Chain A
């Protein structure tokens, strides 16, 4: 007797559906945007060439595109002039890369000591700390931007502290350092995570072998440990560079009018309906980020199989009684802990404090009353908090329902031998390397405005497009948490189930999935958080309509100066967003906990 075809085809069918969804809500819209720049109807690549040859975008490199033959002559003239380095301009792309490189450096500098502490010291709460390093990464970026404003702004916590101790105010708002610090807030924990994992993966016996052959602890570190950490640190730096290169709300809210990156300019071009130029920018940005992601994946592929085996070094206790205070290393760890606490907790604490502090420094609920007044207002175009909360939660649930199955299917494909892994790799990297603005623009231009399919005009509403965009952004994270768990699962378990009469699908449902519930829920929480915090594509898709979310509302309050130059309403809205995000997390954690035991 042959099994009904349905069972054999379940997985391929799921994959086809996933690919179809991705095709409709990601590849098609994005390629439409990118093609608009490559084939605009006139000369091919004309918009891209125009950008490359524009000194505003490419700085000194524009000569190479505008007049390639004149380059040698130009260099000679430049050398004759005495090599005026200061006069060299790098343009928008140059600046974007420059700030991304500085951000990556800052992230590595801030993240590496964290990895050292987590990998080498034992202290109460270490495991918790290790897992909360994921939190900054999923915090809504616009929220972080407002938090940094609340911390470093003219009336922010830092300045109030400086005044209180008799020092002068500092003015760092809308400068490069604040943008870089905010990027480090995001990416340093990423560095910490990746390097900690690499560190814990080093077999202690390798170090012991080196020591037994006469290497001092320092030499053993240099010869055995460092070579295994450097690749992880470089990769993390590369990721930090990519994320900082594409960063949008941070630069938008903290960069002011002076600091512009490709992504912010791209948004401005879309706003002013210069779509061809926007498309050309999108192509160039995507080429750069996809190239870097490719490098990252190449490295990641080489790391598979190196891990595992052996036990990691045992950790030193961080608190060692009276010895603690005399040990310079432990004191350095505490110093770092203080810096980390200020950088990571400061913005969040400032946000909450600012939302209940009036202009005179006293306690006030005026900003929350303002939110209530907005809610009650009948005026057209008012940004109301309640619909924003409702929309956010609704979209997040929708995202969850779409992204989790998609992520699981891609994970199953990824853990199959052979070509499956490569396909999954390509599927998972593309959404990370394509900016949210481009996805949003693509969806706007295709599904929201309508597409002709066999003579029928097909349109989707804003909310559907928002959920689609969120799911595209979220499912790689679901897959990335599920795949390692799935790969670590013994194939024999599912085979045992099948030998006992369970079909492929039954074996998946009764054996495989129950065993990966915890990572599955973590992935779901990820998807939820990413949807709640997503800003880049939402801000485009929610344009003018009623489907704005909490981050979009927050941005509008930042821009709304009706209450004077106060950040108050934004911090109040930010605190609401923070609360809703935190509560959702607790709920997911509780619901998940039931299946966990």
Chain B
């Protein structure tokens, strides 16, 4: 399909700051989203991810910095002049219009590339989101998931350069959320449209994105592929926010071979150590095994949760709490757990 138009439509933020009545919501944010890329902003609530999206859309005006879409400086452009499509968490379907009228609304003001008939376009869009035949319904009569599909169709109908999604799945229940995120990703691939996605759900971010920016307190902590962000966190915050993690403050024991020291215990480490004395280390709970490993630690089991596919084991070792995710239930209270060198990641080893 030819949707999305021919124009290369990356999004760039260059030193963007946004303040609300003296309070800084975003400070000096640089981001670059490639043409056709699915880019996700993830972070806790109030971190500035939605503000970033709204700045791209033109609903917030930066106090400094530049916003570019497709290479054009749009910092001073109104939202209606930016060729974007946006989907909000609460759908924001126009309640006084039918589904068809909602989807057709943007076509009053903008046309997708090429000669397109409005009625045909609306039908095609409804088919795209799997809602063919629902055109005459009132938005009020739809379920949450259906509303979100219509909101997506409406945003895509005028063939925008950039699609912006602001927590589109947060109001839906877990099952539906997983189904819809697969279809959103499918549609995005089909149209090859540059997409900026905002979510507070790190699992959703990992599952759906080409690249992720982890946002915290108005600045970007790390940008990278889901694998990079998950396996080589740049900061302690990223290590703890993206999935469950055990983070320890260790000191360098030796650099070759890389060894770190944690309360007198020496741990083998994956990869080179940075030029610092103190290094935060992280080990994912799923990498902790019951029994032996490169290093074996005697721990006390404090609490066990059964999750269905695994056990979540809360342990205590040397005064530190440690989380393990195991296939088997620990047999007793005092057990040994093993950690392999390859699973011990140095937080921030990629930086500095």
Taking beta carbons and an 8 Å cutoff, which residues of A are in contact with B?
1-3, 7-8, 418, 490, 492-493, 495-504, 506, 510-511, 514-515
Contact B90 A502 (CB under 8 A): no
Contact indicator A499/B86 (Cβ below 8 Å): yes
Query: What would 26 A/B residue contacts be, using CB atoms closer than 8 Å?
Result: A2-B76, A3-B78, A3-B81, A8-B78, A492-B92, A495-B59, A495-B86, A495-B88, A496-B88, A496-B92, A496-B94, A496-B151, A498-B58, A498-B79, A498-B80, A499-B57, A499-B86, A500-B80, A501-B106, A503-B78, A503-B80, A504-B78, A506-B109, A510-B105, A514-B96, A515-B94
Q: Is residue B279 contacting chain A, with contact meaning CB distance below 8 A?
A: no
Instruction: List, in ascending order, chain B residues with CB within 8 A of A495's CB.
Output: 57, 59, 79, 86, 88, 92
Provide the main secondary structure of the chain A interface: helix
Task: Across the A-B interface, give the 6 residue pairs with the lowest CB-CB distance, nearest first.
Answer: A501-B109, A500-B106, A492-B92, A499-B86, A498-B79, A501-B110
Distance in Å from the Cβ of A476 to the closest Cβ of chain B? 27
Residue among B78, B88, B158 making CB contact with A498, cutoff 8 Å:
B78
Please, which residues of chain B bring their CB within 8 A of the CB of A511? Answer: 94
Interface check B233, CB cutoff 8 A: no
Report which of A2, A499, A515 forms a contact with B96, defined as CB distance below 8 A.
A515
User: For residue B86, which residues in chain A have a CB less than 8 angstroms away from its CB?
Assistant: 495-496, 499
Q: How far is the CA of A8 from the CA of B61 in the complex (A)?
A: 14
Contact B85 A497 (CB under 8 A): no
A500 touches B94 (CB 8 A): no
Interface size on B, residues (CB 8 A): 30
Which residues from B are CB-within-8-Å of A515?
94-96
A498 to B60, CA, bound (A): 13
Closest A residue to B85 by CB, please name it: A499
Contacts of B90 on A, CB cut-off 8 Å? 490, 492
Q: Which residues of B contact A (CB under 8 A)?
A: 21, 57-59, 76-82, 84-86, 88, 90, 92, 94-96, 105-106, 108-110, 151, 154-155, 158, 164
Q: Whole-angstrom distance between the alpha carbons of A501 and B108 in the complex?
A: 8
A492 to B92, CA, bound (A): 6
Chain B residues whose C-beta falls within 8 Å of the C-beta of A490 in the assembled complex: 90, 92
Question: Which chain B residue shows the least CB distance to A503?
Answer: B80
Q: A7 — which chain B residues lie within 8 A by C-beta?
A: 78
Residues in A neighbouring B79, C-beta threshold 8 A: 495, 498-499
In the assembled complex, the CB of B48 is this many whole angstroms from the nearest CB of chain A, namely: 18
Query: Closest residue to A7 on the B side, CB-wise?
Result: B78
**How far in angstroms is the closest Cβ of chain B from A480?**
23
| Cβ contacts under 8 Å, B109 to chain A | 500-502, 506
Smallest Cβ distance from A485 to chain B, in angstroms? 13
Complex alpha-carbon distance, A502 and B158, angstroms:
12
B21 proximity list for chain A (CB < 8 A): 418
Bound: A498/B76 CA distance, A: 15
CA distance A515 to B86 in the complex (A): 21
Expressed in whole angstroms, the minimum distance between the Cβ of A6 and any Cβ of chain B is 13
- Give A414 Cβ to nearest chain B Cβ, in Å: 18
Known A497-B105, A501-B80, A515-B95; further 19 A-B contacts with Cβ < 8 A: A2-B77, A3-B77, A3-B81, A7-B78, A492-B92, A495-B86, A496-B86, A496-B151, A498-B59, A498-B80, A499-B57, A499-B86, A500-B155, A501-B108, A501-B109, A502-B80, A502-B108, A502-B109, A503-B80
Residue of B nearest to A497 (CB): B105
The interface residues of chain B lying within 8 Å CB-to-CB of A1 are: 77, 81
Q: Which of B21, B59, B76 has the most CB of A within 10 A?
A: B59
- Contact call A500/B154, Cβ cutoff below 8 A: yes
CA distance A582 to B227 in the complex (A): 72
Taking the closest CB of chain B, its distance from the CB of A108, in whole angstroms, is: 39
Closest to A515 in B: B96
User: Whole-angstrom distance between the alpha carbons of A1 and B58 in the complex?
Assistant: 14
- Alpha-carbon gap, A493 to B88, bound state (A): 9
A499 near B155 with CB under 8 A, answer yes
Chain A contacts for B96, CB-based, 8 A: 514-515
- Which residues of chain B are within 8 angstroms of A2 by Cβ–Cβ distance? 76-77, 81
A8 to B58, CA, bound (A): 14
A1 to B109, CA, bound (A): 15
A499 CB contacts on chain B under 8 angstroms:
57, 79-80, 82, 84-86, 155, 164
Given the complex of chains A and B, what is the CA–CA distance between A7 and B158 in angstroms? 22
| B54 to chain A: closest residue by CB | A495
* Bound: A121/B267 CA distance, A: 72
In the bound complex, residues from chain B placing their C-beta under 8 Å from that of A496 are 86, 88, 92, 94, 151, 154
Task: Collect the chain A residues with CB atoms within 8 Å of residue B105's CB.
Answer: 497, 500, 502, 510
B108 CB, min distance to chain A CBs, angstroms: 7
CA distance A252 to B55 in the complex (A): 61
Cα of A492 to Cα of B105 in the assembled complex, Å: 15
CA distance A36 to B106 in the complex (A): 57
When C-beta atoms are compared, the residue in chain B nearest to A595 turns out to be: B96
Q: Chain A residues near B58 (CB, 8 Å)?
A: 498
CB contacts (< 8 Å) of A504 on chain B: these are 78
Chain B residues closer than 8 Å to A501, beta-carbon distance? 80, 106, 108-110, 158
